[in-house]
Amino acid sequence: MVTINSSDQRARLIGIFTFLGGIYFFLYFVLPESAISFIGVKDRHEAISNGFIVIGAMAIGLGLFNLVSAHGTRIVFKKIGWVYSLALITGLVCMLGVTSAQWLQSLALSAEQQRSQIISEFAQRIIDDADKTTATLTVPALQVRVDALKLYGFEHLSVLETKLLGQRGASSLLQHELQKNIATVREKLAQLDAVSWGELSPGSATLLKEVVTSGAKFSVARGAYLREAAATTTVQQLYTLLYEGFFNQLGSAMFALLGVYIAAAAYRAFRIRSVESALMMAAALIVMLGQISFGRMISDDMPALRQWLLEVPNSAAFRAIRLGAGVAGLMLAIRMWLSIESRSFSAGKKR
Amino acid sequence: MGGLEHATPGILVTVAFAVLLLLYELRRVERGYRHFIRRIPGIDAVEGAIGRCAEQGRAVVFTTALTDVGPVLYACLGVLHAVAKRVAGYKLKLIVPQYSPEAMVIVEDAVRGAYNDAGRGAAFDPQSIVFLSSEQFAFASGYMGLVHREKAGAAFMFGVFAAEALVLAEAGQQVGAQQIAASVSPEQVAFFICTCDYTLIGEELFGASAYMSREPVQVATLAAQDRLKLLFALVIIIGVLGATLQSIYPTWSLPTVDLFFTTEWSSLTW
Amino acid sequence: MILAVGIPVFLGYSRPPSRLVSAERMYEVMAKTEFKPGEVAMVWLDFGPGTLAENQPQAEVILEHLFRRRVPVVLLSQYQQAEVALQRVPREVAKRLERELPDQRWSYGEAWINAGFRPGGAIFIQALVNASDISKFLGRDVTGMPITQYPNFAAIGGVERVKLVGEVTGLTGVFDTIIQFFQKGGYQPTVVHGCTSITIPEAYIFLDSGQLKGLLEGIAGAAWYSEVLKQHYPKSDNTKLLVVNTALSAAHLVIILLIVIGNLVPLYQLLRQRLWGSHG
């Protein structure tokens, strides 16, 4: 009698999902568009892709958990180097806190900007809906919608103008630009009174399109204004300090260390000990001299020689390495896809 | 029109062939066929490096650097399993710094399995799998600090590397660690050759785990990938000969090899 | 090393850059690619602070050329740390052009839009390529504005309307994703690439096979490209770029010197031992 234990079942389930996921993406890539549409997957692919992307993003929690548990233990039990662990956790908490606050602030800014976008989006929607047959669409009458657009537009612009009087933070140039756009949108909305809105004629459609265009420019200007005003807030300044001031600069500094290490490696390790190393050295010198400004002082043909080295011997070698690694990767990927695992990859002993 | 259209019937056929080839080799190996694997000096040196650490009582560091979950990680896990098993046998300290949180879970599983296989499951310390950072140079600086503090006696660097490769290798150099590196990124191979004791180039990384463990599945994979490479080499030779003949005799109309790979679905008639 | 890099920068000293054929070819490709109304260029800025020094000048020359040609540009990235580059680079290029040509404007929403960081790598690119309307697929830009609201980007349509794809990156694997997946049946974009010096050898294999039509090889490539741009647009200012290129060249010379010294010292010791060692 064969008993199937739970770990076998789990492995089988994982294997099935792995196979289905792999075959879906492979066939989607390889099969022609007509076949994809015939199966009915084309319209759903975007949603499926987004699902996979979201699952990948969930991994962020794993790293956080490991960091906190490993370094937290060190701090609590005051093991060797606990001060550095404390510094790490403090940095982590600070960055998380400031980024969360900045994210909430940007959400609020986006919501504010979207209120301004409604004018252009609604005007565009009126034009789009009028193109469709009225039998398939249940919407209020055109006149009602245009009146609603005007009402919202004028009200929003008035509120905004009042706010602008008391607001500080953004530059006067941006404020001027925004006020100019507000005036333009107001003018375009006022022009909507000039026609009757029984049905959408080419003339009235043009007026609405002008509202769309001016409304789009207005919301871009509003967004720029809001962002510049937000740049002076404490949250944004802290975020800029931590991200651009510390994080980016530290990354650049670490990358710059490479220059020092290359210099050290150049002195220590680039020794001519054999024919092969002599060839390698000659190639390296030609490529370097061919690329720099001073190479021409030695010979005008340096760049051309460098070009030949890169196009012929180098390409041959790189192609060979890439082909080999690519084929090996393909085989391993097939093994992963078919869940043909070796004993190396599991916690327990396999039969 | 230049370039290669990847989503063609030819590619589908090639992949299907690769699958069948792998299954064939697996079957062959299961039936007892023994493949010859050529010597890889870098892998032969692993035992010596770990032995040296045992003599000096120093830690062993194994990093997969920027490797995310994928075929390359699986190739590295085979070597990691073999290294961890030996380290467990010698009762040494093993440190596995990690860059990717997703890969970290799989790596932990592999190391635990290695300790179990060595009969020292109780000695496995999950904290030996250290998540440093998902940021390239934060990972590099964490690795440097780790190697310096632990005074590693051996450093194994297997996987995907980018610009931080030289930084990692120099850190090991500074503490006098014996270093063995394997990178699928060909541009980093040059840096490893200058700073490491042994370097595995390109697909040697994929062959390393089969070489060390001699497990049927891994040996079969290695055999299948070598056969596929031979086939591609043959196709290249035929293609080059055909193109050369065509250029010498322009009036001849020879079919080109790339027709197989570039013919689109729309060109096929049913 | 600090002196070698610092002296040209502080003194503003520059030398003519080395002539790189790949950059010249890229110029021809960028100049000759036709853009009909509604067609766009898509430029991926996949670099962060680490490779900013090499990739930012490349992004600047590519955008400068596209802006001069009045080609609408969609900017986006697969790398989350590219945010600063996506915001700063086009603005600086636009300001520089407006200083040079005061009667012309390059404004956000007309000359370019910033679609921001898009996660998902190959999955995202495949979905983008298969979308029937890229404007709708991309949704909103970083300002939260629907991309369909910008007249120059309102109805891009399918990926066939992206006539040029630029990829500026120092990351491994990112460029491969574009080459592999940014294509579909009957459509192959013109792909140009700005790479760091480390990844030049790898990029050459794609240039040779025709999958890549143009290549900027590190700062040297950007410097030569700017010189070619200057030949066609004499008022173009590339002084800063040439100074940086000269500083980098000086650093290369220092490395060459260290290599030479590293080889001469053991040689000298060997000779000394052979010639005088027996008398010691």
pLDDT in tens, C60-92: 999 999 999 999 999 999 998 898 899 999 999
Query: Cα(B186)–Cα(A316) distance, rounded to whole angstroms?
Result: 12
Q: What is the DSSP string of B90-142?
A: HT--EEEEES-HHHHHHHHHHHHHHHHHTT-GGG--GGGEEE--SSHHHHHHH
Q: Is residue B199 part of a domain?
A: yes
Task: Judge whether residue C248 has pLDDT over 60.
Answer: yes
**Mean pLDDT along residues C175-200:** 88
Decide: helix, strand or coil at residue C46: strand
Strands in B60-65's sheet, in edge-to-edge order, are: B129-131, B94-98, B60-65, B154-160, B178-183, B198-201
Length, in residues, of chain B: 270
Interface mutation vs chain B, best among C172, C197, C202, C206, most B CBs within 10 Å? C172
The tens digit of pLDDT for each residue in B218-245 reads 899 999 999 999 999 999 999 999 989 9
Query: Which of A1-5, B177-181, C108-112 has the largest mean confidence?
Result: B177-181
Q: What percent of chain C has pLDDT over 70?
A: 99
Query: Cα(B15)–Cα(B21) distance, rounded to whole angstroms?
Result: 10
Q: What percent of chain B has pLDDT over 90?
A: 58
Instruction: Give the pLDDT score at B267.
Output: 75
User: Between these two residues, A10 and A146, which has the higher pLDDT value?
Assistant: A146
The residues facing B98 across adjacent strands are: B131
SS3 annotation, chain A: CCCCCHHHHHHHHHHHHHHHHHHHHHHHHHCCHHHHHHHCCHHHHHHHHHHHHHHHHCCHHHHHHHHHHHHHHHHHCCCCCHHHHHHHHHHHHHHHHHHHHHHHHHHHHHHHHHHHHHHHHHHHHHHHHHHCCHHHCCCCCHHHHHHHHHHHHHHHHHHHHHHHHHCCCCCHHHHHHHHHHHHHHHHHHHHHHHCCCCCCCHHHHHHHHHHHHHHHHHHHHHHHHHHHHHCCCHHHHHHHHHHHHHHHHHHHHHHHHHHHHHHHHHHHHCCCCCHHHHHHHHHHHHHHHHHCCCHHHHCCCHHHHHHHHHHHHHHHHHHHHHHHHHHHHHHHHHHHHCCCCCHHHCCCCCC
Which residues, in sequence order, are CB contacts of B118 under 8 Å at separation 6+?
A: B84, B85, B86, B88, B89
Q: Which CATH number fits domain A102-132+139-232: 3.30.70, 1.10.3470, 1.20.120, 3.40.91?
A: 1.20.120
Q: Is residue B221 part of a domain?
A: no
Q: How many angstroms from the chain centroid is the CA of residue C116?
A: 17
Q: Which candidate from C183, C196, C209 shows the least CB-CB separation from B5?
A: C183
Q: Which candidate from A61, A254, A327 shows the least CB-CB separation from B137?
A: A254
**Mean pLDDT along residues C212-232:** 95
Decide: helix, strand or coil at residue B193: helix
**Mean pLDDT along residues B195-210:** 89
| Of B211, B164, B212, nearest in space to B192 by CA | B164
| Enclosing domain of residue B96 | 41-214
The tens digit of pLDDT for each residue in A262-311 reads 888 888 778 888 898 888 889 989 999 999 988 888 888 889 999 999 99
* Contact indicator for C5, C248 with CB cutoff of 8 Å: yes
Class of domain C15-241 (CATH, top level): alpha beta
CB atoms within 10 A of CB A297: 11
Q: Is A281 on the interface with B (CB under 8 A)?
A: no
HSE (side-chain half, CA atoms, 13 Å) at C32: 9
CA distances from C237 to A74, C6, C96 (A): 55, 21, 8
Instruction: Give the pLDDT score at B24.
Output: 95
Nearest chain C residue to A256 by CA: give it: C50
Please report, in angstroms and rounded to a whole number, the separation of the first and last CA atoms in chain C: 38
Q: Which of A114-128, A134-148, B21-35, B85-99 has the lowest mean pLDDT?
A: A134-148
Instruction: Give the pLDDT score at A2.
Output: 44
The tens digit of pLDDT for each residue in B80-105 reads 999 999 999 999 999 999 998 888 88
Query: Cα(C55)–Cα(A342) distance, rounded to whole angstroms?
Result: 42
Is C200 in contact with A281 (Cβ distance < 8 A)? no
Is A348 in contact with B78 (Cβ distance < 8 A)? no
Q: Which candidate from C51, C188, C202 shows the least CB-CB separation from B3?
A: C188
Mean pLDDT of chain A: 84
Instruction: Give the pLDDT score at C71.
Output: 96
CB atoms within 10 A of CB C187: 15
CB atoms within 10 A of CB A94: 13
Is C49 in contact with A255 (Cβ distance < 8 A)? yes
Phi then psi for C184, rounded to 5 degrees?
-150, 180
Query: Cα(A221)–Cα(B148) distance, rounded to whole angstroms?
Result: 53
Is B187 in contact with C198 (Cβ distance < 8 A)? yes
Instruction: Give the pLDDT score at B268.
Output: 75
- Match 């459609």 to its residue by tokens: A205
Could you tell me the pLDDT band of residue A167, with boundaries at 50, 70 and 90? low
The identity of residue A35, as a single letter, is A
Is B162 in contact with C172 (Cβ distance < 8 A)? yes
* Contact indicator for A304, C26 with CB cutoff of 8 Å: no
The tens digit of pLDDT for each residue in B9-64 reads 888 889 999 999 999 999 999 898 888 888 888 999 999 999 999 999 999 999 99
Helices (H) and strands (E) counted in chain B, each on its own, are: 10, 6
Task: Judge whether residue B3 has pLDDT over 60.
Answer: no
The tens digit of pLDDT for each residue in B67-85 reads 988 889 988 998 999 999 9
Task: Judge whether residue A347 has pLDDT over 50.
Answer: no
Q: Is C255 exposed, middle or buried (0-12, 13-18, 19+ CB in 10 A)?
A: buried
Helix-strand-coil split of chain B, %, nearest 5: 60, 10, 25
Query: Cα(C32)–Cα(C28) distance, rounded to whole angstroms?
Result: 6
**Domain limits of chain A?**
102-132+139-232, 236-269, 270-342
User: Between these two residues, C232 and B215, which has the higher pLDDT value?
Assistant: C232
Interface mutation vs chain A, best among B24, B99, B194, most A CBs within 10 Å? B194
Is C120 in contact with A288 (Cβ distance < 8 A)? no
Instruction: Give the pLDDT score at A343.
Output: 54
Instruction: Give the pLDDT score at C229.
Output: 95
ipTM score: 0.86
Task: Judge whether residue A130 has pLDDT over 90.
Answer: no
**Mean pLDDT along residues A191-203:** 86
CATH of residue B91's domain is: 3.40.50.720
Q: Which candidate from B11, B116, B131 shows the least CB-CB separation from A349?
A: B116
Mean pLDDT of chain C: 90
Q: Which of A13-22, A334-343, B116-125 has the lowest mean pLDDT?
A: A334-343
Decide: helix, strand or coil at residue C35: coil
**Portion 196-215 of B in contact with A at CB < 8 A:** 201-203, 205-207, 209, 213, 215
The tens digit of pLDDT for each residue in A209-222 reads 999 989 988 988 89
Instruction: Give the pLDDT score at B4.
Output: 47
Entry pTM = 0.86
Q: Which two tokens stand for residue A103?
A: 């994210």
Instruction: Give the pLDDT score at A119.
Output: 93
The identity of residue A197, as a single letter, is W
Is C248 in contact with A227 (Cβ distance < 8 A)? no
HSE (side-chain half, CA atoms, 13 Å) at B106: 23
Looking at C34-116, list the stretches that DSSP marks H as alpha helix, in order from N- to C-terminal side.
52-68, 83-100
| Of A286, A284, A279, A317, nearest in space to A301 by CA | A286
Query: Residue A246: its chain C contacts at CB < 8 A?
Result: none
CA max distance for chain B = 74
**Mean pLDDT along residues C192-208:** 92
HSE (side-chain half, CA atoms, 13 Å) at B154: 27
User: Between these two residues, A299 and B258, which has the higher pLDDT value?
Assistant: A299
Task: Judge whether residue C135 has pLDDT over 50.
Answer: yes
SS3 annotation, A26-52: HHHHHCCHHHHHHHCCHHHHHHHHHHH
Q: Is residue B227 part of a domain?
A: no
Length, in residues, of chain A: 351
Query: Cα(C267)–Cα(B207) distance, rounded to whole angstroms?
Result: 39
CB atoms within 10 A of CB B254: 11
Query: Cα(B58)–Cα(B65) distance, rounded to whole angstroms?
Result: 21
Could you tell me the pLDDT band of residue A241, with boundaries at 50, 70 and 90? very high
Task: Judge whether residue A350 has pLDDT over 50.
Answer: no
Please report, in angstroms and rounded to a whole number, the separation of the first and last CA atoms in chain B: 25
Is C218 in contact with A311 (Cβ distance < 8 A)? no
Interface mutation vs chain B, best among A344, A345, A346, A350, most B CBs within 10 Å? A344
Instruction: Give the pLDDT score at B1.
Output: 36
- Match 């980016």 to its residue by tokens: A248
Q: Is residue B75 part of a domain?
A: yes
Is A67 in contact with B131 (Cβ distance < 8 A)? yes
Q: What percent of chain A has pLDDT over 90?
A: 29
Query: Cα(A316)–Cα(A322) distance, rounded to whole angstroms?
Result: 10
Q: Which two tokens stand for residue B145?
A: 């600090």
Decide: helix, strand or coil at residue C101: coil
Query: Cα(C255)–Cα(C271) distance, rounded to whole angstroms?
Result: 24
Is A342 in contact with B215 (Cβ distance < 8 A)? yes
The tens digit of pLDDT for each residue in B157-179 reads 999 998 889 999 999 999 999 99
**Which uninterrupted H or E stretch holds C216?**
strand C214-217
Instruction: Give the pLDDT score at A21.
Output: 87
Instruction: Give the pLDDT score at C278.
Output: 52
Q: Which of A130-139, A323-332, B62-71, C10-19 has the lowest mean pLDDT?
A: A130-139
| DSSP structure class, residue C16 | P
**Mean pLDDT along residues B250-262:** 81
Query: Cα(B136)–Cα(B134) distance, rounded to whole angstroms?
Result: 6
Could you tell me the pLDDT band of residue C180, with boundaries at 50, 70 and 90? confident
The identity of residue B177, as a single letter, is A
Is A31 in contact with B8 (Cβ distance < 8 A)? no
User: Between these two residues, B51 and C121, which has the higher pLDDT value?
Assistant: B51
Query: Cα(B244)–Cα(B241) distance, rounded to whole angstroms?
Result: 5
Query: Cα(B21)–Cα(C77) distance, rounded to whole angstroms?
Result: 38
The tens digit of pLDDT for each residue in B120-164 reads 999 999 889 988 888 888 899 899 999 999 999 999 999 999 888
Interface residues from chain B to C (CB-CB < 8 Å): 1-7, 66, 136-137, 160, 162-163, 185-188, 264-266
**Mean pLDDT along residues A76-81:** 86
Chains B and C form CB pairs within 8 A to the count of 49
**Mean pLDDT along residues A66-71:** 83
Q: Is B101 on the interface with A (CB under 8 A)?
A: yes
**Mean pLDDT along residues A112-139:** 81
Query: Which of A24-28, B135-139, C243-247 has the largest mean confidence?
Result: C243-247
Instruction: Give the pLDDT score at C1.
Output: 80
